[in-house]
Amino acid sequence: MAKDERDLLDLLKFELKFLEDGGYGRSPHTPWRRPLVFEDSLTCLNFGDPTRPHPCSECWLMEFVPAELKDQASPCRLIPLTPKGETADYFYRCGTQRELEEALAGWLRNQGSRIEQQRQRASRTENARTENQRNSSCGLNGLHGKRWLALAGNLYLLANRHRENHNYLVAHALYGRALEAAEKVATSQDDGLSLAARIRTDQQAVSELLRRAANGSKRPESEVPQAVGQ
């Protein structure tokens, strides 16, 4: 089976199950030979075929072989299985089968956990990116958007009342708050865009009145600075 048709995490899990089920016990067909991890596994591309028709470069394990060792014979024997860098080749020469299988089991679990964590992080990142794109292109929507739009409308109505009563400072402040609320939904709803435009126009008109008053023009009636809410 070609490497690109396999799922790496599934292969790691399969290899671990194969190991735990005693798959690397001595074969009755070759009792004189020590079993070789990876090479005597069902996941090996050349399993059971002494002619080895598939090059090791096609093997899923090549991802774990150090770059400078990929051109070696049986490169899967050179995969570091422990924090010390011990490989299957090392255990064949200096260790026992039990030590090798324990190291292999730990390596398989660690690699599986690493890949699962990477996929979870990638999934969270993708979900966040999709959500951000949806919010940036569609703005707030649903009940949340309606609430902001209602708040903007209420603030705008209150600002107009203060403007009609010539309380321009209060009206200007309320227009600003209404505009902030309206702009939160302006990208998702036409009425949000329309309301934001109306608020902005009226706020600019009040700003012009206040500017003229500050420059010494006739002070608008009842224009006494007031705090919002008084």
Q: What's the CA gap between 192 and 56, in Å, rounded?
A: 61
Which tokens belong to 107? 């390596």
What does the radius of gyration of the chain's CA atoms come to, in whole angstroms?
Answer: 36
Is the pLDDT reported for residue 219 higher than 80? no
> In sequence order, what DSSP letters do the residues of 6-66 get, joined into one string?
S-HHHHHHHHHHHHHTTTTSPPSS-TTS---TTTTSTTSTTTT-TT--S-GGGSGGGGGS-
Least confident of 26-40, 101-115, 161-175, 201-215: 26-40
Count CB atoms within 10 A of the CB of residue 187.
16
Asked if the model's pLDDT at residue 226 lies above 90, the reply is no
How far is it, in rounded angstroms, from Cα 117 to Cα 111?
A: 10
Between CA 226 and CA 172 the distance in angstroms is 11
Residue 110 has a pLDDT of 95
**CATH class of the domain at 142-214:** mainly alpha
d(CA 198, CA 152) in angstroms, rounded, equals: 11
147-157 as b/e: b if 16+ CB within 10 A: ebbebbbebbe
Task: Identify the CA nearest to 152 among candidates 206, 191, 116.
Answer: 191
Q: Is the pLDDT of residue 202 over 80?
A: yes
Q: What are phi and psi of 24, to 5 degrees?
A: -100, 25
Q: How far separated are the first and last CA of the chain, in Å rounded?
A: 77
Give percent of the chain with pLDDT exceeding 90.
43
Q: Which is nearest to 147 in space by CA: 176, 188, 199? A: 188
pTM: 0.53
- Note the pLDDT tens digit of each residue in 90-148: 999 999 999 999 999 999 999 999 988 888 888 787 776 766 555 554 444 566 677 77
The fraction of the chain above a pLDDT of 70, given in percent, is 77
Nearest CA to 159 among 184, 190, 182? Answer: 182
- 49-99 residue pLDDT tens: 888 899 999 888 999 999 999 999 899 999 999 999 999 999 999 999 999
CA angle at residue 159 from 153 to 161, to 5 degrees? 105
Domain residue limits, the chain: 3-132, 142-214
